[in-house]
């Protein structure tokens, strides 16, 4: 039994941030009922690559859930959601602010139905403020908050992250907020409204560049793979490939020099302190890469790891997934996908000593659990047939 066993979650989210949040809740034992529009369901179901009719995106974000199709613009669909809210612990939604309220399921209405309900809204800019009416998509938020302006190389254009970091960070904050609200409800007896904005979430990660701006009055600039305040702390070219090295303090800097047989660099006036090395970053990189040109990546990694200098090969996704550490940490899980068979999805990084890894159930087919959930809510078969007919229109 997971720590959230007995907790019922209504999942009114789609695409990425919300489904990621609710998947984490499901991993910990919550019953997650994913409400989908009968006309195609979650948009991600159609995102390529498609594997035997299943989107790999959808498979990676929706394990351990049930799918119920409801047309919330019909009386039957609204009645089902009303009954679900009455028995649920958590509702998570990522509608554009105001949209769900117009359907009769905003926080005030839902709280009136169930005062203990923890209601979490995820949106681009939050439920308040002059931009709250705007939709939020990960690349737009990365651009608007300033993240792209500091990502990429100085002579290139601003660049977004290779993954939807805004969505995943927002999903994590939503998950944390829900758990905090459930904890608070245990002694207040009341639920509450959690307001998560993608814009807020991404801004919260910019503490270092924001601090630079507040301290200097100047916008931080793109530095490629380098660090604005530490050197050497970037990617270097070795004889046969690239290596990331993070010598984050003086001890590690000396250990790096010892590992490559270049103790003279420690006494070099240009590199004596971290501030000196940051000032002379280009010269430092040139000196190090002259030495690294005689060493393979594997040799360099071995030398540095033996002296506890943080470093890593610059690898492909395939190479990263093939690392024995992945298997040892249960970070690739096998799910039996209907019509396809075995498919691997990423595991949950939260490891609890009293909770053995859970074998995940396959992500649900569109509407797969509609009938079963409606029966549990007390609907008769004729009533279920009527709602199903409304969904099909």
Residues classed as catalytic: 227
Q: Which residues pair with 15 in a beta bridge?
A: none
- Residues 341 and 335: their CA atoms lie apart, in Å, by 8
- Residues 387 and 374: their CA atoms lie apart, in Å, by 10
- H/E segment holding residue 123: strand 118-123
- Residues 217 and 334: their CA atoms lie apart, in Å, by 50
- Residues 106 and 388: their CA atoms lie apart, in Å, by 24
Task: Identify the residue whose tokens are 């066993």.
Answer: 5
Cα angle: 123, vertex 373, 390; to 5 degrees: 75
SS3 129: coil
Q: For the purposes of burial, counting CB atoms within 10 Å of the CB of 297, is it exposed (0-12), middle (13-18) or buried (19 or more)? A: buried
Residue 208 CA: distances (Å) to CA of 23, 214, 227: 30, 10, 11
């Amino acid at each position: 039994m997971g720590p959230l066993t007995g907790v019922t979650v209504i999942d009114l989210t789609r695409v990425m941030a919300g489904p990621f949040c609710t998947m984490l809740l499901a991993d910990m034992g919550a019953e997650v009922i994913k409400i989908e529009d009968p006309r195609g369901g979650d948009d991600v179901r159609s995102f390529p690559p498609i594997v035997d009719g299943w989107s790999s995106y959808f498979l990676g974000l929706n394990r351990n859930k049930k799918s119920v199709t409801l047309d919330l613009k019909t009386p039957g669909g609204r009645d089902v959601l009303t009954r679900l809210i009455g028995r649920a612990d958590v509702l998570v939604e990522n509608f554009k602010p105001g949209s769900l309220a117009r359907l009769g399921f905003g926080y005030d209405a839902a709280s009136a139905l169930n005062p203990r309900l923890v209601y979490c809204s995820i949106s681009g800019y939050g439920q308040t403020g002059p931009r709250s009416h705007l939709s939020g998509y990960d690349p737009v938020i990365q651009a608007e908050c300033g993240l792209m302006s500091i990502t990429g190389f100085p002579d290139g254009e601003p660049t977004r992250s290779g993954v939807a970091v805004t969505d995943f960070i927002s999903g994590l904050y939503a998950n944390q907020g829900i758990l905090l609200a459930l904890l608070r409800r245990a002694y207040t007896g009341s639920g509450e409204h959690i307001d998560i904005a993608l814009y807020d979430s991404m801004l919260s990660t910019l503490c270092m560049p924001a601090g630079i701006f507040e301290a200097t009055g100047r916008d931080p600039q793109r530095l490629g793979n380098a660090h604005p305040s530490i050197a050497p702390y970037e990617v270097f070219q070795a004889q046969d490939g690239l290596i990331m090295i993070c010598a984050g303090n003086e001890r590690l800097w000396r250990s790096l020099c010892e590992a490559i047989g270049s103790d003279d660099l420690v006494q070099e006036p240009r590199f004596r302190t971290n501030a000196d090395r940051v000032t002379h970053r280009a010269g430092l990189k040139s000196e190090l890469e002259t030495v690294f040109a005689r060493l393979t990546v594997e040799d360099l990694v071995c030398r540095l790891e033996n002296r506890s200098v943080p470093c890593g090969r610059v690898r492909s996704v395939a190479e990263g997934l093939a690392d024995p550490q992945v298997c040892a940490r249960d970070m690739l899980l096998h799910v039996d996908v209907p019509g396809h068979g075995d498919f691997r999805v990423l595991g949950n990084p939260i490891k609890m000593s009293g909770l053995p890894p859970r074998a995940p159930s396959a992500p649900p087919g569109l509407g797969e659990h509609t009938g079963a959930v409606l029966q549990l809510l007390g609907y008769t078969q004729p009533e279920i047939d009527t709602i199903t007919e409304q969904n099909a229109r």
